[in-house]
Structure 1
Amino acid sequence: MQEITHQQIMIFFFSLALLIGLARIFGEMCKKIGQPSILGEIAAGIILGPTVFAYIAPDLQATLFPSSGPLYVTFEFIGMLAITLFMLIAGMEVDLKCLKKQAKPATIVGISSMVVPFIGGFALVYLFPKTFDTQEKTLVTALFMATALAISALPVITKILMDLKLIKTDLGVTIIAAAIFNDLTGWMIFAIVLSLMSDNSGGFPWETIVGIVVAGVLMLTVGRKIILALIPRVQAHASWPGGVMGFVLTGALLSAGVAEWIGVHGIFGSFLFGVALGDSPHLRHQTEEYMEKFISFILTPIFFATIGLKVNFLTHFDIFAVVILLVVGSVTKIFGSYIGAKFCRMSKRESWALAWGMNARGVMEIILAIIALEAGVINDTIFVAVVILALFTSMTSGALMKISLRRRSKTSAATSFGRGAFVADLSHQSPSHVIKDIVLGLKLDHQVQADLIQSIINREQLMSTGLEKGLAVPHCRTDLVKKPVLAIGIHKEGANFDCFDDGKAHIIALIITPLDDPESQLELISLLASHFSSKEEIEKAMQCHSKVDMHAILNAADELSEKKH
C-alpha cells in the first residue's frame, strides 16, 4: 500500500488553495460585469493549466497540478463529488408542479426546441467526420453531439429571467417549464448515451437502459413520495440545518451510487434525487440556500477550474470546429424554440425572447462534454469548441432576450394606472383575498370583476408573483380589456406573496393587459420593478393616501425612466 507523503500533502494544500482562490476571484470579477461566474472559474483553470502556467513555468505547474499520480486522482475525486452535488442543486430547481400546470406549452416548446438541434448535432458528426475524429465510435459521438446541442441549462435560464425581472411573468413561466422538460428529457437521453459509451460488448445495452428508465420512474413517483414524507420527520427529530442537509446529501450520494451500479454516471442519480426533493413544501428555503452556497462557492469552482487543467485551449482551438458548433448549435436551437412558441400562439416578440432564452446552455453542456471527453467519445478540439459554445450562449442570451422584447410604443405605468384603481387599506394576508379586494376597486361590471378575479387567482396559483423589497405584481392577460390597466393596493402589514427575499408584499400592483398584447404586461412588470427597486421607494409609496398621490409618484418615475433610455 502506497502511503501519502508529507510533501504530497503540502503540495495538495497549496494547489487546492491556489485553485479555489483564483477561481473565486475570477468568478466574482465576472459577476461584477454581469457575466456568469463559471466563465471566471474556467478562466482560472486555463491560467493554471497547460495553456498559460505550463508555458511560463512548466516544472512548477507539473508539480502543483500533475497529470497523473495521487494528487491528480485526488483532484479527480473532488471534482466528481463537486459535480455530483452540483447536479443535486440543479435537480432541486426543477419544479414538477410548474411543469404539470404548464404541461401543454412546456411539452410543445420542449420537444420542438430539442428535436431540431438533436437532428443538427447528429448530422454534424456524419457530415464532418475528420473534425470529430470519432475513432470508430461514430454513432455514440453523433448521439452525444445531438444531446449536447439539444439540452438547455435551467440554472442559467433561471438566473437570466431573474435578472430581467421576467421569471414570474407568463413568458418566464413558459420558458422555465420548457427548460425543465429539456433538462429531464435531455438527461434521460444522455443517461442512455452514457450506457452506450461504457458498453464494450458491441451489443445494445438493454439492461442498463431498462435500469435507467425504471430508476427514473421509481424515483419520481414512489421515491418522491417517500422522500417528501421523510423530510418533516427529519426536521422534527434532528437539529437544523445540519440534520436536513445530512439527509439530503446522504440521499444524493446513495442515488449517485445506485446510478453507477446500474451502469450510468452518478450525476444522473444525484440529479433525479434533487428533482424528487425539489418541490417539497417542508424543505426550508434557508436550508436550500445554505447547501447551494456551500456547493456553488466552494466545491463547484474546483470542478470548473479543473476543466482548464485538462486541455490546452490554445493548441486545441480549431476555428472551423468552433464556428460550425456555434452556428449549427445556436441556429437549430433558436429555430426549434421559435417554432414551438409560435405553435403555442405566442407573439413574435415573445417567441424570439423565448428562443434566445432556451439557447442558453451553460454548465449542463460543459458537464456533458467533460464526461464525453473522459470516455474518449470526443477529442480535445471538440471539447474546447463545446465549452466555447456553452459560455457564448450563456453570455449572450440575456442581452438578446432584452433586445427582442423592446418596442417603439412603450407602455406607461402612470397611464395604465389612470384606467385603474387605488386601494389604501388592504388587510387580508392571502393573495387570493388581496386580489379580490383590489379588483373590486375597479369600476367594472360585476361579472367582469368575477371573471378577472378568477383569472388572476388562477395565474397566481401557477407561480407566485412576489418580487422583492415588498413588491408583488399579480397579473393576467384577458380579452375583457382593450388597453392595459394597473391597479395598486397598499398593505401596511404585508401580504404573503412568496417574494424572492422571503419578505412580505406591501405594494401590490395588479396588472391586467389585453390578450393580444403580451408585451405591455412584460413592460409594466419591468417598469414597476424599476420604479420600486429600493426600500425607500416602497416606503414613500406606502405613505400615499389617495390615487392622486400614487399617480404623482408613477408620473415622476415614468419620466425618470424615459430620460435614462
Structure 2
Amino acid sequence: MKRLLVLLIVLLIPSSVFAEGQGVTQLMTELVVQLGIILFAARLGGRFFKKIGLPGVLGEMIAGILIGPFLLGSIPIPGFPHGIFALHQGDIPVTVELYGFSTIASVILLFLAGLETDINMFLRYSLKGSLIGIGGLTIPFILGDLTAVWLMNVDFMDPPALFLGVISMATSVGISARILSEKKKMDSPEGVTILAAAVIDDVLGIIFLAIVVGIAESITKGHGGLSWSHIGIITAKAFGVWLGFSALGLLFSKRISKFLKSFNSIPAFSVLSLGMALVLAGVFEHAGLAMIIGAYVMGLSLSKTDISYVIQENLFGLHEFFVPIFFTVMGMLVNVKSLMAPQVLIVGLVYSAGSVLGKVIGCGLPSLGLGFNKKGALRIGFGMIPRGEVSLIIAGIGLSSGYLSPDLFGIAVIMTLISVLVAPSLFEKALAIPGIGTHKEAKGTDTVITEYDLPSPEVGEFLVTKLISSLEHEGFFIHMMELGTRVYQLRKDDIFCTLEVDKNQLRFITAREDLAFIKTLIYESLIDMNNIMKEVKNLAKPDEMRKELATEAHNRGDFHIHDYLDQEDVELDLKSNTKDDIIGELVNILYNSGKIPESEEAIAAVFEREASMSTGMQNGVAIPHGRSSGIDTVKVAIGVKKGGIPFDSIDGKPSNIFLLLISPKDAPGPHLKVLSSISAALNKEEVRQGILTAQSRSDLLSIIDQGIKDKK
C-alpha cells in the first residue's frame, strides 16, 4: 500500500506543477515525466508478479497496458488535458520520442543477446541444434501464417500473415535457462541441446525477419505478386549481408577488442562497444534490414573475446533502465478495447495454441531421431516454448511499419503472455519425470570440475577475494552472477573457466588443458594468504586495541538508539550469575519479544565470538555480540546485573552492564555503527551511573540516547 501511495503521488505531482505549453521544451518535459512514471510502474508491476510466482516481464507489460493511452494514460488531468500518455494518431499510439526509447532498448537487448551467444556451443552442437532449431522455426512459422490465412482470409504471402509467422518463431529461453540452472540440469543433454537450438533460433529467426521485411517492402512498394526468383534474391541478400558482417566481425573480433581495450577503462570501452552496436544497427536499417540484426551481429562479434562478460556487467545499469521501459511501452501499444473483442480473443487463443504446439512438435519430433527418447523430446519441446523480447520487438516493427494492425499486435502480445505463463510449469513437470531423456547414457565431456572444501565461509570470502585479485593482476576479465550460488565467469584470451562459490566449498569448472593453471592459481593464492596472515599476526595486538576501544567516548552523534532497541528488550535486573547464563538470558529476551526467530543459533554465535576474545571491556561494561541467520538488521538487548559477575574484562573487575548485539549473518547491517556508537556512550561515567540507577526502562533508553548525542 505504501508503494501504491508513492506511485499515486508521483502520478499526481505533474498535474500541480506543469502547465500546458508548446515547443520542444514542453515535449521534453512530458517525456521525462512519462519516463519517470514508467520506471515506477514497471518496477511495481514486475515485483508484484514475481511475488505471485510469475515472470516480472509480465508485470511490466501489464503495467504498460494499465497506464497506457487506451486506459489510465488518456484520462485528462490539470497540466495534461489529454492525459499523461495521450493517445496519438498514426501507426503507434504513443509519442515518437517514447517509442524511440523502446527502440534503443531493443538494440541494447539484442546487442547483449549477441554477447551471450556461445559460438563454441553453436559449432559443437551445430547438427543437433540446427535440426531441432530449424524444426522449431519452420512449424511455428507455418502454423502462425496459416492461422492468419484461415481466420483473416488473406494470402500466405501477405505481410500480416508473414509477420504473424515470424513472430511465433522466436524463442526466449531465459526462463528455461533459469529453470535448468535451478534444477542443476544446465549441462544435461536436454539442457545443452535447448541452449544450442535457441542459438540457432536466434540466428535464423533474425534472418527470417530480414527476409519478411524485404518481402513486405517489395509488396507495399508496388512490386505486386512476388516471383520465387525475387524472393530468392531477397533471401540471398539477407543471408549475404548477415553472414558477411558476422564473418568480418568474428574475423576481426580480437582487433576490435584490442581497440576497445586501448581506452584503458572498462566503463569507457563497455559504453563504446554499445556505440558500435548502435552504429551497426543504423547501417543495417539503412540497408533494408532491421536494426536489431545489426545490434545482434555486433554482440556476436564480441562474444568470443575476453571482454564480453565485462561489457555485459558494465551495461547492466543501462539494461535495468531501458528494458523495463521497453516492456512497458510494448504494453502501452495494446488496444485493450479491441483486444477484448470476441473475434480478436479467439484468433489470439488459436494463434497461441498453434505457437505452443509448433515449438513442441517442431523441436520434439526431430530430437526423437537424434538420440533422445520421448521424455527428452518432451523436455526439449517444452523448453523451447517461451517467447519474449524478440517476439515483441518484431511485433513492434510490424506495427510501426504499418504491416500489423493494432488488433494483430494485440494478438501477438496475447501469444507472448500465454507462452510465458504456460512454459515454466510445463517445463518443470517434464524435468520432474524420472529417468534420463536419451536412449543411451550421455558420454562425459572434457570439462573438469575441481572442488576445494573450506573450513568456514569467512575463509572462503578471504580466499575468493585473493583469487579474484590474482586473476585481475593476470589480465583476466571477471563477470559475477547470482544463480542461487555466487558464480564467477573468468576469461582471458582462449582460457575460460567458471568459479562457483558455495558456503563451504569452491568449485572450478574448466577445460582439462587449463587444470594445471587452476591448481597453480590455488597454490600460489594460499601461499600468499599464509604470508599475509603472518604479517597480520605481527600487526595485531588485540589486548592493546581492546583497551583503546574501551576508553573511546566520541561518536558522530547521528545514531538513534530507538531504531534498534525497544523498551521490551531492556532488563533492569538480570537473574543469571554466570557469563554463559547472562548471554543466554539476553538472547532469550530478544527471542521472547520476537526479534529473532530462534535462540540456539544466536547463543552459539555469541559463544563463538567469546571463544576468540572476551567482549568484557572495563568499568563494568560487557558487549557480547555475534551474527545469526533469519534476521534483516541488528537486534539489541541491554541488561543490568546488580553487583556484577566475572566476565573476563580488561581490568579484571566484575561486569554489571551488558549490551548484546545480534547482527544478520547473510545480509548487510549496520553492525559496526551500532556497536561503536553504543560502546562510545557506555564509556562515559555519567552514562554508566545513570544506567545503574535508572528506575524504568524508558529512563535507561533516554540516558543512552543522550550519551550518544552528546559529542563531548
Q: TM-score, normalised by structure 1?
A: 0.69
- Which structure is higher in RCO with an 8 Å CA cutoff and minimum separation 6? 1
CA–CA distance in structure 1, aligned partners of residues 30 and 487 of structure 2: 51
Aligned to 1:383: 409
Amino acid at match of 2:273: V
List alignment gaps of at least 5 residues for structure 2: 1-20, 437-445, 452-481, 489-495, 511-600, 602-712
Aligned counterpart in structure 2 of residue 339 of structure 1, from 347, 365, 374: 365
Aligned counterpart in structure 1 of residue 192 of structure 2, from 173, 194, 205: 173
Aligned to 1:314: 337
* Residue 40 of structure 2 is aligned to residue 24 of structure 1: no
CA–CA distance in structure 2, aligned partners of residues 196 and 98 of structure 1: 32
* Residue 356 of structure 2 is aligned to residue 330 of structure 1: yes
Aligned to 1:506: 506
How far 1:139 sits from its partner (Å)? 2.4
How far 1:408 sits from its partner (Å)? 6.0
How far 1:210 sits from its partner (Å)? 4.3
Q: Secondary structure at the match of 1:506?
A: strand
Classify 1:312/1:176 alpha carbon distance in 2 versus 1 (closer, same or farther; 3 Å): same
Aligned counterpart in structure 2 of residue 74 of structure 1, from 90, 97, 114: 97
Contact 1:191 1:264 in 2 (8 A): yes
Q: Secondary structure at the match of 1:152?
A: coil
CA–CA distance in structure 2, aligned partners of residues 287 and 263 of structure 1: 28
Q: Secondary structure at the match of 1:320?
A: helix
Q: Deviations over 1:166-189 (max 9, x none)?
A: 223222111000111011011101
How far 1:240 sits from its partner (Å)? 2.6
Amino acid at match of 1:214: G
Aligned to 1:287: 311
Q: Secondary structure at the match of 1:498?
A: strand
Q: Which has the larger radius of gyration?
A: 2
How far 1:56 sits from its partner (Å)? 5.2
How far 1:205 sits from its partner (Å)? 7.3
Aligned residues: 432
Aligned to 2:393: 367
CA RMSD of aligned residues (A): 3.5
Contact 1:467 1:499 in 2 (8 A): no
CA–CA distance in structure 2, aligned partners of residues 254 and 155 of structure 1: 27
Classify 1:30/1:212 alpha carbon distance in 2 versus 1 (closer, same or farther; 3 Å): same
Q: Secondary structure at the match of 2:252?
A: helix
Q: Which has the higher helix share?
A: 1
Q: Secondary structure at the match of 1:108?
A: helix
Amino acid at match of 2:506: H
* Residue 87 of structure 2 is aligned to residue 64 of structure 1: no
How far 1:284 sits from its partner (Å)? 5.3
How far 1:505 sits from its partner (Å)? 6.1
Aligned to 2:163: 144
Q: Deviations over 1:168-225 (max 9, x none)?
A: 3222111000111011011101111112223314164777654432221122212222
Aligned counterpart in structure 2 of residue 53 of structure 1, from 72, 79, 83: 72
How far 1:252 sits from its partner (Å)? 0.3
Classify 1:43/1:20 alpha carbon distance in 2 versus 1 (closer, same or farther; 3 Å): same
* Residue 283 of structure 2 is aligned to residue 258 of structure 1: yes
Q: Secondary structure at the match of 2:506?
A: strand
Contact 1:468 1:501 in 2 (8 A): no
Q: TM-score, normalised by structure 2?
A: 0.55
Classify 1:13/1:101 alpha carbon distance in 2 versus 1 (closer, same or farther; 3 Å): same
CA–CA distance in structure 1, aligned partners of residues 435 and 149 of structure 2: 48
What is the percent sequence identity of the aligned residues?
A: 22
Range with bigger deviation, 224-233 or 243-252 = 224-233
Amino acid at match of 1:192: I
Q: Deviations over 1:250-294 (max 9, x none)?
A: 2101111110121122111111111222232x1152431221x22
Classify 1:471/1:51 alpha carbon distance in 2 versus 1 (closer, same or farther; 3 Å): closer
Aligned counterpart in structure 1 of residue 270 of structure 2, from 232, 245, 252: 245
Classify 1:156/1:370 alpha carbon distance in 2 versus 1 (closer, same or farther; 3 Å): farther
CA–CA distance in structure 1, aligned partners of residues 265 and 426 of structure 2: 42
List alignment gaps of at least 5 residues for structure 1: 411-429, 436-465, 473-495, 511-535, 537-565
How far 1:315 sits from its partner (Å)? 2.9
Q: Secondary structure at the match of 1:166?
A: coil
Aligned to 1:557: none
Aligned counterpart in structure 2 of residue 99 of structure 1, from 112, 122, 125: 122
Amino acid at match of 1:31: K
Q: Secondary structure at the match of 1:64?
A: coil
* Residue 178 of structure 2 is aligned to residue 159 of structure 1: yes
Aligned to 2:426: 400
Range with bigger deviation, 137-146 or 345-354 = 137-146
Amino acid at match of 1:230: I
Contact 1:102 1:174 in 2 (8 A): yes
